[in-house]
Structure 1
């Protein structure tokens, strides 16, 4: 059963400019495993973090670093949540996450489905 769905779009150049202007933002938003990725991949992950919040109903107290997107087998994105995001997911009955990332034409997009 689908518990929630989230989608978000990020302008890659805008995120890159923001990260250059505010270097500490990279540490606040991205996990250690994500920080070294190229701008397009960071934008897709930022979109995924926003999509996670939407799939959970945007409850207060979520932090971007509580959603981490890594590359799984064959490069397929894998989503793991922690902290408040994990608490809310458990309360809602989320047992599995589905995530899709893409970037082209200066935009990055992410879809997230929370399944229970």
Structure 2
């Protein structure tokens, strides 16, 4: 059963401009591994975190660091949830979080589907 859906789009040039204006931004919202990726991948990961927040219903008190986008050996993205984000997911009965990322033509998009038991 689908318990939540979230989508977010991030313009890569706006992400780059934000990084230029706020040098510590990448370290505040991305893990070291996420921050080491190219700008379009960083923008997609930021969009993924925003989409996850929407899929969870927008609860307060979530930390960017508690949701890290990882990739498996085939390159498929997924979330590693920790802390308050993992707690909220458990409280909502979420058994799986599905993630799709794409970037093209200067835009990065993320789709999150939260699946229940």
Name the TM-score, length of structure 2 as normaliser.
Answer: 0.95
Q: Secondary structure at the match of 2:112?
A: strand
Q: Distance in 2 between matches of 1:81 and 1:54?
A: 15
Q: Distance in 2 between matches of 1:33 and 1:83?
A: 18
CA shift digits 1:38-66 (9 cap, x unpaired): 00000000000000000100000112221
CA shift digits 1:11-45 (9 cap, x unpaired): 10100111122111111100122110000000000
How far apart are residue 73 of structure 1 and its match?
Answer: 2.5
Instruction: Please list every run of at least 4 consecutive aligned residues from structure 1 whose deviation after the TM superposition is greater than 2 angstroms.
Output: none
Residue of structure 1 equivalent to 2:61: 61
Q: How many residues align?
A: 116
Residue of structure 2 equivalent to 1:114: 114
Q: Distance in 1 between matches of 2:73 and 2:26?
A: 26
Name the TM-score, length of structure 1 as normaliser.
Answer: 0.96
Alignment of 1:9-24 (within 5 A): 9-24=9-24
- In structure 2, stretches of 5+ residues that fail to align are none
Q: Secondary structure at the match of 1:57?
A: coil
